């Protein structure tokens, strides 16, 4: 079987991309970048609750409100469960909402997260990825956000502050599209992204208004003029049909994301390919796959190895939900071996791999010439993944490609004291 | 002292002005909670829902927490709610009301929705409200910029899940999690939380807290209308006899509600802008103008207390006597003066 063609091959319209734009350049962190997006999106209701590292975004948001730069209802909730329930209900009334959390805070809200997706409410949230307690750790792990991966949440992972801002705008557009109406979380690696500054282009209000239409809940809006009953008891009579509708929405999200990136690329002159980023993949014999700020050490290592003539590329998964099955099949069908670096764990799962490796393996399974998949876990609890770690990983992936002594039915922990 | 209206500083929305209805004949005929629900015969809570929304009228959004009044009331395709209605999670009545009110505030201020006063009511059961959802209700009562009413319908158990003991179940009640057994006759030894007074005392900025009993329907209606008119976050607690959970003939729901008041177990009062007012028979009890009926008259009519011995009845009576004879504010605030 040939890999299906990617629907994303559409070229960027360079002329439109050069259209006059007014963007300011600012030295800001990932959290601050998202706060700019939230303001530019003219969000109506925001709820906050403190937990590191996501909470920096709410510090920026509250300052903007206090200074009169941004008008919205801003509520400091008494728990994450309430934090997410409040915006869930605001969204049902037709308000554009923003929320966020990290680590165990995100899990404290879990019930609210489930119903938000079940109710097809287009909440946009920031997850400042953080290890789950216990033991206590502030550093990044992806298990917090990944915990909602089966519920209907769209999940984006960003690698730079610019991408954080841009993805937040795209997230509103996709989530609030009535073909989708699903919540979207933007995952930002704790510290490496939430707290690290870089130069970010902040678009003008005009540019954002052109890109992002107002939220219209339509005939699902809870209002006395539209006296509907939302979320009745459906039971076995109807639950399966409703689940199926959510499934169809999650499928449709794919096309809506592609449309949004096309428009974004046209209007802003950046944004790149939806779903995945390909780095030195053209002639790659082996590929590394990962999410988030892992891209930094991996790209440096890939460049270094390329100078030594090693044909290695990197494929960064930008959206975990919807999972870029087609893109990954297309991009990886030509390589001999793939090394997946998970910054998460899935104890007791297939080959003891992380969530990304397990998903990727099943995506590649239908391919006639499927590459070997070697699975790695690295950088847990915020531990740095060094370029040397990446070079070590790549050595093993090459070994797998060349029939060496590599176990592709187990998972290698990298940078761990055994 | 000069009164400062802090709401003038923010975008406090106007409320609907709902005058009290003086007598049963003045009560509107319109119903906004109609056919389609499937509660037990004699379910007082279902009646309470009907009175609550009749009082509020059509320009109201109702949020309902999980519990009997959700599960038995909103079967898909046969909702009894004529007004917009939305489910909220078991512990989320406070958050549901806050989020809904916040959205209305933001959308109206920003010109994204036509400006008009819309009532927001979130209801919850005793389990969802006074156990799991207490912190969210407490938080909601602190958000004085929003107009919302939290309505707690108290059937004194987690009824929908088959009658389990909650923090508002009376001492000693038989429930599926607290059955009287051969070794432990009394499995449930906690004393019912004093919820309305706790919330009133603990949230001095909250402008209206009341207790009601549907046996007194007009009063229940007018308390809802008062709460919605005075605005800000408000709270009403209704004691609802539940034939299934309390184990009595369904035709006695009203009688038991009245007995709860007459025995002094359920004091009726309101706290408006910090001012306590006892009303109905509770006022006479507080002023010692009428004798309280013995609690055994109330307890022994319910199967959930059938295992009570004289000792248990005496203990219960003693606690109720304390409420009215020793408390700083009889029936309401349980401290004793020096
Ligand atoms: C988070 C959560 N835990 C447990 C339940 C199961 N549950 C459904 S209804 C209910 C009873 C709620 O009791 P109460 O709030 O007193 O309302 P009632 O059923 O008595 O009307 C429970 C425990 C649930 N829906 N959600
Ligand atoms: S169990 Fe009680 S509260 Fe529930 S429907 Fe029956 S009577 Fe009403
Ligand atoms: Mg109950």
pLDDT confidence bin for A138, thresholds 50/70/90: very high
The 10s digit of each residue's pLDDT in A143-156 is: 999 999 999 999 99
Please list every residue in chain A whose beta carbon sits closer than 8 Å to the beta carbon of residue B61: 93, 222-224
Nearest-5° Cα angle at A12, A10 to A15: 140
Q: Give percent of chain B above pLDDT 70.
A: 96
Are B83 and A90 a contacting pair at CB < 8 A?
A: no
A224–B83 C-beta distance less than 8 A: yes
Sort B45 into a burial class: Cβ within 10 Å, 0-12 / 13-18 / 19+.
buried
| B45 CA distance to ligand 2 middle (Å) | 7
Q: What is the ipTM of this complex?
A: 0.96
Compute the distance between CA of residue A34 and CA of residue A55 in angstroms, rounded to an integer. 12
User: Rounded to the nearest whole angstrom, what is the distance from the C-alpha of residue B11 to the centroid of ligand 3?
Assistant: 36
Task: Please tell me the distance from the alpha carbon of residue A92 to that of residue B86, in angstroms, as a whole number.
Answer: 9
pLDDT at B13: 84
Hey, what are A324's tokens? 């870029």
pLDDT in tens, B83-102: 999 999 999 999 999 999 99
Contact flag B139-A78 (C-beta cutoff 8 Å): yes
Query: pLDDT tens digit string along B182-222?
Result: 999 999 999 999 999 999 999 999 999 999 999 999 999 99
Residue from A294, A374, A380, A317 nearest A345 by CA: A380
- Give residues with Cβ within 8 angstroms of A155, minimum separation 6: A145, A146, A148, A149, A184, A185, A187, A319, A320, A321
| DSSP codes, A137-174 | --S--SHHHHTTTTTT-EEEE-SSHHHHHHHHHHHHHH
| Whole-number Cα distances in Å, A172 to A257, A321, B122 | 11, 15, 28
Is residue A255's pLDDT more than 50? Answer: yes
Residue A312, SS3 per DSSP: strand
The Cα–Cα gap between B300 and B305 comes to 6
A22 — pLDDT class (breaks 50, 70, 90)? confident
B90 lines ligand 1 (CB under 6 A): yes
Nearest to A189 by CA among A335, A331, A114, A295: A295
Whether the CB of A245 is below 8 Å from some CB of chain B: the reply is: no
Mean of the pLDDT values across residues A11-34? 75
CA distance A232 to B76: 5
Rounded to an integer, the average pLDDT of B157-164 is 98
pLDDT of A304: 98
Among residues A67, A68, A69, A65, which one has the least CA distance to residue A45?
A65
- The pLDDT-based confidence of A20 (bands split at 50, 70, 90) is low
Fold of A14-268: Rossmann fold (3.40.50)
Please tell me the distance from the alpha carbon of residue A37 to that of residue A143, in angstroms, as a whole number.
25
Neighbours of A366 (CB within 10 A): 12
Q: Residue B132 and residue A79: Cα distance in Å, rounded? A: 12
pLDDT at residue number B295:
98
- Sorted by sequence, the CB contacts under 8 Å of residue A9 that are 6+ apart come out as none
Q: How many CA atoms lie within 13 A of B292 on its CB side?
A: 26
**What is the DSSP-derived secondary structure letter of residue B236?**
E
CB distance B139–A44 less than 8 Å?
Answer: no
Query: Who lines ligand 2 at CB under 6 A?
Result: B 39-40, 43, 45, 68, 72, 155, 159, 242-245
pLDDT score of A218 more than 50 = yes
Q: B143 contacts in A (CB within 8 Å)?
A: 75
Extents of the domains making up chain A = 14-268, 276-414
Rounded to a whole number of angstroms, the distance from the CA of A186 to the nearest CA of chain B is: 22
Indicate the length of chain A as a whole number: 418
- Burial class for A384, CB neighbours closer than 10 Å (0-12, 13-18, 19+): exposed
Judged on CB neighbours under 10 Å (0-12, 13-18, 19+), A270 is middle
CB under 8 Å to A82, separation ≥6 — which residues?
Answer: A47, A49, B92, B94, B95, B98, B135, B136, B139
Task: Give residue limits of the domains in chain B.
Answer: 6-325
pLDDT of A395 higher than 50: yes
What's the pLDDT score for residue A343?
98
Angle, alpha carbons B228-B334-B281 (nearest 5°) = 60
Fold of A276-414: Rossmann fold (3.40.50)
**Any idea which ligand is nearest the CA of B73?**
2
Q: Residue A74 is encoded by which pair of tokens? A: 């801003």
Pick A82's closest partner by Cβ from B94, B103, B113.
B94
CB B153 within 8 A of CB B123: yes
Point out the ligand nearest to the CA of residue B159: 1
Cβ–Cβ below 8 Å for B106 and A88? no
Percent of chain A with pLDDT over 70: 95
Task: Give pLDDT, residue A411.
Answer: 98
Is the pLDDT score of A10 beyond 70?
no
**pLDDT at residue number A12:** 46
A49 vs B contacts (CB less than 8 Å) = none
Residues A359-365: contacts with CB within 8 Å, 24+ apart?
A359/A320, A359/A323, A360/A289, A360/A328, A360/A332, A363/A323, A363/A325, A363/A328, A363/A329, A364/A328, A364/A329, A364/A332, A364/A333, A364/A338
Closest atom, ligand 1, to C-alpha of B66? 9
To the nearest 10°, report the CA torsion of A162, A166, A168, A173.
Answer: 180
What is the predicted pLDDT for the residue at A1? 39
Q: Which of A90, A226, A229 sits opposite B103 (nearest CB)?
A: A90
The CA distance from B251 to B144, in Å, is 41
CA angle (B167 as vertex; B121, B147 as ends), nearest 5: 20
pLDDT in tens, A275-300: 999 999 999 999 999 999 999 999 99
End-to-end Cα separation, chain B, in angstroms: 30
pLDDT in tens, B218-236: 999 999 999 999 999 999 9
Measured in angstroms, the CA of A44 and the nearest CA of chain B are apart by 6
pLDDT in tens, B36-64: 989 999 999 999 999 999 999 999 999 99
Cβ-Cβ contacts under 8 Å for A318 (sequence gap 6 or more): A156, A157, A158, A163, A167, A274, A275, A276, A277, A291, A324
Output the pLDDT for position B8: 41
CA A399 to chain centre: 31
Distance in angstroms (rounded) separating the CA atoms of residues B160 and A178: 35
Lowest mean pLDDT: which of A13-27, A256-270, B251-265, B277-291? A13-27
A99-131 pLDDT tens trace: 999 999 999 999 999 999 999 999 999 999 999
pLDDT at site A21 = 67
Which CATH number applies to B6-325: 3.30.420.40, 3.40.50.970, 1.10.3430.10, 3.40.920.10?
3.40.50.970
- Which residue, judged by its Cα, is nearest atom 4 of ligand 2? B68
Distance CA A381, CA A190 (A): 10
Q: With both helix axes pointing from N to C terminus, report the angle between B93-109 and B134-142 in degrees, rounded to the nearest 10.
A: 30
User: Nearest to residue B272, comparing CAs of B238, B225, B234?
Assistant: B234
Alpha-carbon torsion angle B329, B333, B336, B337, nearest 10: -60
> Residue B65 C-alpha to ligand 1 middle, in angstroms?
8
Burial class of residue B242 in the structure, from the number of CB atoms within 10 Å of its CB (0-12 exposed, 13-18 middle, 19+ buried):
buried
């Amino acid at each position: 079987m040939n890999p299906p063609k990617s629907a994303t091959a559409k070229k960027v319209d360079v002329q439109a991309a050069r259209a006059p734009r007014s963007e300011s350049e600012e030295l800001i962190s990932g959290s601050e970048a998202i706060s700019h997006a939230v303001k530019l999106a003219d969000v109506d209701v925001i709820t906050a609750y403190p937990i590191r590292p996501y909470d920096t975004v709410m510090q920026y948001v509250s300052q903007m409100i206090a200074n009169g730069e941004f008008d919205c209802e801003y509520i400091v909730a008494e728990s994450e469960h309430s934090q997410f329930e409040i915006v869930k209900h605001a969204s049902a009334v037709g308000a554009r909402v923003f929320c966020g959390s990290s680590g165990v805070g995100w899990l404290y809200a879990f019930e609210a997260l489930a119903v938000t997706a079940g109710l097809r409410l287009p909440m946009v949230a920031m997850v400042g990825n953080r290890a789950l307690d216990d033991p206590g750790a502030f550093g990044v792990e992806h298990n917090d956000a990944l915990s909602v991966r089966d519920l209907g949440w769209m999940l984006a992972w960003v690698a730079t502050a610019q991408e954080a801002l841009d993805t937040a705008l795209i997230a509103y557009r996709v989530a609030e599209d009535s073909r989708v109406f699903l919540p979207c979380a933007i995952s930002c690696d704790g510290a490496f992204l939430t707290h690290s500054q870089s130069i970010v282009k902040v678009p003008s209000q005009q540019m954002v208004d052109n890109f992002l239409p107002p939220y219209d809940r339509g005939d699902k809006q809870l209002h006395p003029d539209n006296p509907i009953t939302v979320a009745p008891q459906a039971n076995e009579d109807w639950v399966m049909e409703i689940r199926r509708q959510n499934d169809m929405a999650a499928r449709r999200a794919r096309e809506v994301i592609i449309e949004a990136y096309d428009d974004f690329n046209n209007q802003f002159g950046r944004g790149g390919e939806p779903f995945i980023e390909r780095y030195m993949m053209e002639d790659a014999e082996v590929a590394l796959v990962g999410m988030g700020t892992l891209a930094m050490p991996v790209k440096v290592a890939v460049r270094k190895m390329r100078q030594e003539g090693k044909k290695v590329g990197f494929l960064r998964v930008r959206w975990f939900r919807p999972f870029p099955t087609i893109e990954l099949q297309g991009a990886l069908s030509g390589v001999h071996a793939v090394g997946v670096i998970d910054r998460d764990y899935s104890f007791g799962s297939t080959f003891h791999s992380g969530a990304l490796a397990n998903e990727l393996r099943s995506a590649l399974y239908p391919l006639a010439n499927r590459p070997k998949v070697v699975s790695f876990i690295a950088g847990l609890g915020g531990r740095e993944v060094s370029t040397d770690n990446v070079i070590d990983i790549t050595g093993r992936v090459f070994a797998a490609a060349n029939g060496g002594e590599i176990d592709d039915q187990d998972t290698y922990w990298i940078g761990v004291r055994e | 002292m000069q009164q400062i209206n802090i709401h003038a500083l923010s975008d406090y929305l106007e409320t609907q002005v709902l005058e009290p209805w003086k007598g049963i004949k003045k009560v509107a005929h319109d119903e906004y909670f109609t056919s389609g629900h499937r509660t037990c015969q004699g379910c007082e809570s279902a009646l309470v829902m009907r009175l609550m929304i009749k009082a509020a009228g059509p320009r109201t959004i109702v949020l309902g927490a999980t519990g009997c009044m959700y599960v038995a009331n909103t079967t898909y395709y046969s909702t009894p709610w004529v007004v917009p209605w939305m489910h909220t999670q078991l512990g989320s009545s406070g958050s549901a009301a806050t989020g809904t009110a916040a959205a209305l505030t933001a959308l109206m201020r920003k010109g994204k929705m036509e400006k008009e006063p819309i009532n927001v009511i979130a209801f919850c059961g005793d389990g969802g409200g006074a156990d799991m959802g207490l912190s969210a209700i407490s938080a909601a009562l602190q958000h004085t910029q929003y107009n919302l009413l939290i309505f707690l319908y108290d059937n004194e158990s987690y009824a929908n899940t088959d009658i389990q003991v909650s923090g508002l179940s009376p001492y000693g009640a038989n429930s599926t999690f607290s059955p009287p057994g051969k070794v432990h006759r009394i499995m449930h030894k906690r004393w019912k939380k004093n919820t309305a007074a706790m919330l009133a005392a603990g949230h001095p900025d909250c402008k209206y807290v009341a207790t009601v009993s549907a046996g007194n329907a007009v009063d229940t209606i007018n308390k809802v209308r008062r709460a919605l008119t005075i605005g800000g976050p408000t709270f009403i607690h209704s004691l609802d006899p539940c034939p299934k959970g309390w184990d009595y003939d369904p035709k006695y729901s009203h009688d038991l509600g009245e007995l709860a008041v007459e025995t002094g177990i359920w004091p009726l009062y309101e706290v408006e802008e910090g001012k306590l007012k006892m009303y109905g028979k509770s006022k006479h009890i507080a002023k010692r103008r009428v004798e309280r009926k013995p609690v055994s008259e109330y307890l022994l009519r319910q199967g959930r207390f059938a295992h009570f011995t004289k000792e248990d009845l005496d203990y219960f009576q003693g606690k109720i006597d304390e409420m009215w004879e020793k408390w700083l504010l009889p029936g309401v605030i349980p401290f004793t003066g020096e």
